[in-house]
Chains A and B, each alone.
Chain A
Amino acid sequence: MKRRSFLAGALGGTAGLALTACGNGEAVDGDGDGPGDSAGGPVEITYWLWQDDATDSTWTDLAESFNSAQSDVKVTLETIPLDQYQNKITTAAMNNTGPDAARCKDWWIGQFAPAGATADLTPFVDGWEARDDVVEGLWKTGRLPGEESIYMLPHQYTTLYMYYRKDYFAEVGLEAPKTQDEFLAAAEALTGTDRYGFDVRGGGGGQDQWLAWMYAGGANLVDDAGEIVLNDATGVEVNEKYLSIVTDLEAAPPGSITAAFADVKTNFASGLTAMMIHHPGSLAEMTEVYGDDLGVIPIPGTGSGPSRTLGAMSGNIIMAQSEKQEAAWKWISWLSETEQMATMSTSPQGQLPVLSSVMEMDEFTSDPNLKVAVDAIPDAVTWPGLPGVATLAGKEWNPTIQQGFQGELTSQEVVDKMAAVLASDA
Chain B
Amino acid sequence: MLAGKQPTRARKKMGRRGYEPYVLLAPAIILILVFAGYPLVRSIWMAFNKVSAFTGEMAFVGFDNFVAITQAPDFWGNLGRTGMWVGGAVSLQLLGGLVLALLINTKFPLRGVYRGLVMVPWATPSVLVALMWKWLLDPNNGIISKALRGVGLADRPVEFLSDPAMALPTLIVIDAWQGIPLFTVMILAALQGVSEDHKEAAATDGCGPVGVFRHVVLPAIIPTILITVLLRIIWTANYVDLIFILTGGGPGVSSTTLALQSYLTAYKATNFGQGAAYSVLQAAILVIFVVMYLRLTARNEAQR
Q: A residues engaging B (CB < 8 A)? A: 7, 10-11, 13-15, 17-18, 21-22, 86-87, 90-91, 93-95, 111-112, 115-117, 202-204, 253-259, 263, 266-267, 270, 272, 390-391, 394-396, 398-399, 402-403, 405-406, 408, 426
Contact = CB atoms under 8 A, between A and B. Distances in A.
Interface stretch (B2-10, B86-94, B159-167, B206-214): B159-167
B55 A263 contact: no
A202 B159 CA distance: 14
Contact of A254 (B24, B140, B270): B140
A94 B24 contact: no
Contact of A398 (B52, B159, B250): B250
Contacts of B53: 90, 93-94, 111, 115
Interface stretch (B27-35, B108-116, B227-235, B291-299): B27-35
B140 A17 contact: no
Contact of B271 (A86, A255, A426): A426
Contacts of B139: 253-255
B20 interface: yes
A213 B54 CA distance: 33
A94 B55 contact: yes
Q: Which 8 A-B pairs have the closest CB atoms?
A: A394-B268, A395-B268, A254-B139, A117-B54, A115-B54, A14-B27, A254-B157, A87-B267
Nearest to A393: B268
Interface stretch (B171-179, B185-193, B251-259, B282-290): B251-259
Given A94-B53, A255-B162, A406-B164, A204 B248 contact: yes
A101 B76 CA distance: 42
Contacts of B144: none
Given A7-B20, A115-B52, A426-B270, A202 B265 contact: no
B26 interface: yes
A406 B252 contact: yes
B266 to A, nearest CB: 9
Contact of A406 (B24, B251, B268): B251
A259 to B, nearest CB: 8
A162 B262 CA distance: 36
Contact of B161 (A258, A395, A396, A403): A258
Nearest to A319: B54
B269 interface: yes
Nearest to B246: A258
Contact of A17 (B31, B162, B164, B252): B31
B156 interface: yes
B36 interface: no
Contacts, number: 129
Most A CB contacts (10 A, CB to CB) among B31, B54, B267, B270 go to: B54
B159 A10 contact: no
B270 A390 contact: yes
Nearest to A403: B252
Contacts of A398: 248-250
A399 B252 contact: yes
B267 A202 contact: no
27 contacts: A7-B20, A11-B23, A14-B31, A22-B34, A90-B54, A93-B53, A94-B54, A94-B272, A115-B54, A116-B55, A117-B55, A255-B138, A255-B140, A255-B157, A257-B250, A257-B251, A270-B141, A390-B268, A390-B269, A391-B269, A394-B269, A395-B268, A395-B269, A399-B249, A402-B251, A403-B252, A406-B251
Given A10-B26, A94-B53, 15 more contacts: A14-B30, A17-B31, A18-B30, A18-B34, A22-B34, A94-B54, A203-B248, A254-B140, A255-B140, A255-B157, A258-B250, A258-B251, A259-B162, A395-B264, A408-B252
A246 to B, nearest CB: 11
Interface string B142-159: 000000000000001111
B56 A112 contact: no
A208 to B, nearest CB: 16
A272 B269 contact: no
B247 interface: yes
Contacts of A267: 140
Most A CB contacts (10 A, CB to CB) among B247, B249, B265, B268 go to: B268
A86 B252 contact: no
B54 A95 contact: no
B54 A116 contact: yes
Nearest to B270: A90
B26 A14 contact: yes
Contacts of A15: 30
Contact of B24 (A10, A203, A204, A390): A10
Nearest to A273: B140
Most B CB contacts (10 A, CB to CB) among A94, A203, A255 go to: A255
Interface string B103-134: 00000000000000000000000000000000
A112 B159 contact: no
A318 B73 CA distance: 38
A90 B54 CA distance: 6
A10 to B, nearest CB: 5
A389 to B, nearest CB: 11
Contacts of B264: 394-395
Given A11-B26, A117-B54, A86 B248 contact: no
A86 B267 CA distance: 8
A327 B53 CA distance: 26
Nearest to A95: B56
A166 to B, nearest CB: 22
B43 to A, nearest CB: 13
Contacts of B56: 94-95
A7 B267 contact: no
A90 B267 contact: yes
A351 to B, nearest CB: 24
A389 B225 CA distance: 48
Contact of B23 (A10, A204, A406, A408): A10
Nearest to B25: A10
Contacts of B54: 90, 93-94, 112, 115-117
